[in-house]
């Protein structure tokens, strides 16, 4: 069993518009845009990153906005709900805030004894705010007694849960409980974004990816040495893992899980301040060296993002 994985690093989803996406995560949820760059594999599409002040691993929600992309169709084989941690007692403030800003899908429930506020993102993305005791510092986009501390968890909807449960255990997660059709896993000594849920949806049709769908979830490892250990162990277990890829702000490997969800393992190094001061994170369009020659064209074709 692996010991190198320390919780979620980031969650990456698809959107239909850059401005609406930016407004939702900064103005509505109060996160900070910590990087404005492009999809390194398709540079005519943005890659926008939102998180806490530094873009600390475990707090970073990222998007590929494809202009006018059709919405995804929810189903099995995807992350259905991405949850953020908020302080205990903060749900009423968030209900008022989200309803006054026209956010839809608001609903409250309790899962594993924690109060939860469900809501939809701008493309129907499935999100929740979960009340927890959490020592992580918030980005002060909303009042500090309510602000998001980072991810709480990601919940995968799977037609068949067993193989993915085994994989999570191999990755260092412990099964910590069951609540109806949901099995909860947590990684010990994680970064705060420690929980993965598996929702069993036997017989559900396969999800169709589009705007509002999660593209992949990334797990955090401290550094490149730990990442190579994880890569070797996954390969030895029979997973097809990509080579290590330089994403400028972290190093990445990817592999497809038995339930259909794409997993990434990303390093905490070097971080989002490698090419911008912390005070100005996310302001300028940053391009990786291999796409620097495209700047003039990209600045012309990418949707301008104001505010």
Cα–Cα distances in Å, from 24 out to 28, 58, 258?
A: 5, 19, 32
State how far Cα 26 lies from the chain centre: 15
Q: DSSP code of 240? A: -
Residue 31 Cβ, how far from Zn ion at the closest point, in Å?
17
In the complex with Zn ion, which residue's Cβ is closer, 228 or 245? Answer: 245
The yes or no reply on residue 123 touching Zn ion (CB under 5 A) is: no
Binding residues for Zn ion restricted to 130-159, rule: CB under 5 A: none
CB of 62 to Zn ion, least distance (A): 7
CB of 202 to Zn ion, least distance (A): 29
At 136, list the tokens. Answer: 């992580």
Q: Decide whether 112 or 254 has the Cβ nearer to Zn ion.
A: 254
Q: Where are the alpha helices (DSSP H) in 53-152?
A: 91-100
Site for Zn ion in 225-284 (CB under 5 A): 264
Residue 12 in the binding site for Zn ion (CB under 5 A)? yes
235: helix, strand or coil: helix
Peptide bond before 76: cis, by omega within 30 degrees of 0?
no
Q: Binding of Zn ion at residue 197 (CB under 5 A)?
A: no
218 makes contact with Zn ion (CB under 5 A): yes
- What is the helix (H) or strand (E) element at residue 173, kind and residue range? none
For Zn ion, give the closer residue by CB, 4 or 12: 12
The number of residues making up the chain comes to: 307
Q: Taking the complex as a whole, how short is the minimal distance between the CB of residue 214 and Zn ion, in angstroms?
A: 11
Residues that bind Zn ion (CB under 5 A): 12, 218, 264
């Amino acid at each position: 069993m692996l010991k190198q994985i320390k919780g979620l690093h980031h969650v990456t989803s698809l959107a239909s518009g850059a401005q609406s996406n930016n407004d939702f995560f900064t103005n509505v949820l109060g996160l900070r845009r910590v990087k404005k760059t492009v999809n390194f594999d398709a540079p005519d599409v943005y890659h926008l990153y939102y998180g806490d002040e530094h873009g600390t691993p475990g707090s970073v929600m990222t998007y590929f906005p494809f202009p006018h992309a059709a919405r995804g169709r929810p189903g099995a084989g995807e992350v259905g709900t991405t949850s953020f941690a908020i302080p205990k007692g903060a749900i009423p403030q968030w209900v008022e805030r989200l309803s006054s800003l026209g956010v839809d899908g608001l609903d409250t429930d309790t899962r594993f004894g924690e109060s939860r506020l469900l809501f939809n993102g701008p493309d129907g993305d499935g999100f929740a705010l979960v009340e927890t005791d959490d020592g992580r510092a918030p980005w002060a986009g909303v009042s500090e007694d309510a602000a998001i501390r980072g991810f709480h968890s990601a919940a995968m909807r799977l037609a068949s849960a067993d193989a993915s449960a085994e994989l999570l255990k191999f990755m260092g997660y412990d099964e910590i409980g069951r609540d109806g059709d949901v099995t909860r896993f947590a990684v010990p000594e994680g970064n705060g974004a420690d929980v993965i849920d598996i929702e069993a949806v036997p017989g559900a049709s396969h999800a169709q990816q589009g705007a509002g769908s999660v593209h992949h979830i990334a797990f955090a490892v401290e550094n490149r040495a730990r990442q190579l250990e994880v890569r070797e162990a996954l390969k030895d277990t029979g997973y097809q893992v990509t080579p290590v890829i330089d994403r400028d702000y972290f190093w990445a490997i990817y592999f497809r899980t038995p339930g259909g969800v794409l997993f990434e393992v990303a390093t905490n190094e070097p971080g989002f301040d490698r090419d911008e001061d912390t005070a100005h994170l996310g302001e300028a369009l940053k391009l990786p060296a291999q796409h620097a020659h495209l700047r003039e064209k990209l600045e012309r074709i990418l949707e301008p993002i104001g505010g």
